[in-house]
C-alpha cells in the first residue's frame, strides 16, 4: 500500500458545524481575556501621567472575609470602562 501526496488516513471527520462552534468558543475566550494596559505616559516634569485607568494589580477571586469596602466607579472621562475597587 502506498500513500500519495494529499492522501488521508481513514477515520471520523469532524463536521463543519462543530469546527465553527469550536472556533467561536476560542474567539470568545480570547476576547474575554484581560489585556495588558499601555504603560502610563510620562509628562514633561518626569512624573507619571494620568493613572486613573491603570490597574496596578487585578485578581479574579477574593474571599468575602477579605472585603472591607467596595466602590463602583462608572465609566467617564477618567476611564472608558466601569471599575470596581
CATH number of the domain at 58, please: 2.40.50.40
In a domain, 62, yes or no: yes
Position 44 confidence tier, pLDDT thresholds 50, 70, 90: very low
The residue assigned the cell 480570547 is 30
How far apart CA 71 and CA 59 sit, in angstroms, is 16
In a domain, 80, yes or no: yes
The pLDDT of residue 46 is 47
In a domain, 36, yes or no: no
What's phi and psi for 18, nearest 5 deg?
-65, -40
In a domain, 66, yes or no: yes
Chain-wide mean pLDDT for the chain? 67
2-40 residue pLDDT tens: 556 666 667 777 777 777 777 777 777 665 555 555 555
In a domain, 19, yes or no: no
Counted domains in the chain: 1
The pLDDT of residue 7 is 62
Structural domain boundaries, residue 60 = 52-85
In a domain, 61, yes or no: yes
Amino acid at each position: 500500500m502506498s500513500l500519495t501526496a494529499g492522501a488521508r488516513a481513514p477515520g471520523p471527520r469532524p463536521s463543519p458545524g462543530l469546527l465553527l462552534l469550536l472556533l467561536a468558543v476560542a474567539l470568545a475566550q480570547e476576547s474575554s481575556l484581560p489585556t495588558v494596559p499601555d504603560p502610563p505616559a510620562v509628562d514633561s516634569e518626569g512624573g507619571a501621567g494620568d493613572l486613573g485607568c491603570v490597574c496596578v494589580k487585578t485578581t479574579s477571586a477574593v474571599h468575602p472575609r477579605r472585603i472591607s469596602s467596595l466602590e463602583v466607579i462608572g465609566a467617564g472621562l477618567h476611564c472608558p470602562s466601569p471599575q470596581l475597587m
